[in-house]
């Protein structure tokens, strides 16, 4: 049976929380897990689920990519960096 050990809990980004503070949202903290008896690590993203005034699901991954785009919006099927995600949220949340 596979056994995991949680290495780290990833907290939400404070800049994004500041932008969506007037919205109705829920957050699921991300986690980094280690598969015991191997050298494999699994990353569960931090999930921001905004339900009002828009419906949007944003995933934040803690990874070191060359493109440095840590955010993914499910509804748009596209990756974004922090600057881009902040601009999108400001336009959508504060029309």
Domain residue limits at 36: 4-93
CB 72 within 8 A of CB 61: yes
CB 34 within 8 A of CB 7: yes
The pair of structure tokens assigned to 77 is: 């099927």
Share of the chain above pLDDT 90, in %: 69
Neighbours of 25 (CB within 10 A): 18
Average pLDDT, the chain: 90
State pLDDT tens for residues 18-28.
999 989 999 99
- The span from the CA of 43 to the CA of 46, in Å, is 9
State pLDDT tens for residues 50-66.
998 889 999 998 776 55
What's the mean pLDDT in 35-49? 93
When divided into structural domains, the chain yields a total of 1
The whole-model pTM stands at 0.85
Given a cut of 80, whether residue 92 has pLDDT beyond it is yes
């Amino acid at each position: 049976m596979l056994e995991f050990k949680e290495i780290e809990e990833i907290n939400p980004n404070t800049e994004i929380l500041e932008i969506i503070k007037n919205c109705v949202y829920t957050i699921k903290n991300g986690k980094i897990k280690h598969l015991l008896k191997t050298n494999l690590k699994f990353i569960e993203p931090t999930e921001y689920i905004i339900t009002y005034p828009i419906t949007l699901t944003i995933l934040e991954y803690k990874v070191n990519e060359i493109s440095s785009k840590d955010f993914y919006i499910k509804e748009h099927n596209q990756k974004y960096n922090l600057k881009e995600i902040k601009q999108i949220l400001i336009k959508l949340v504060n029309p």
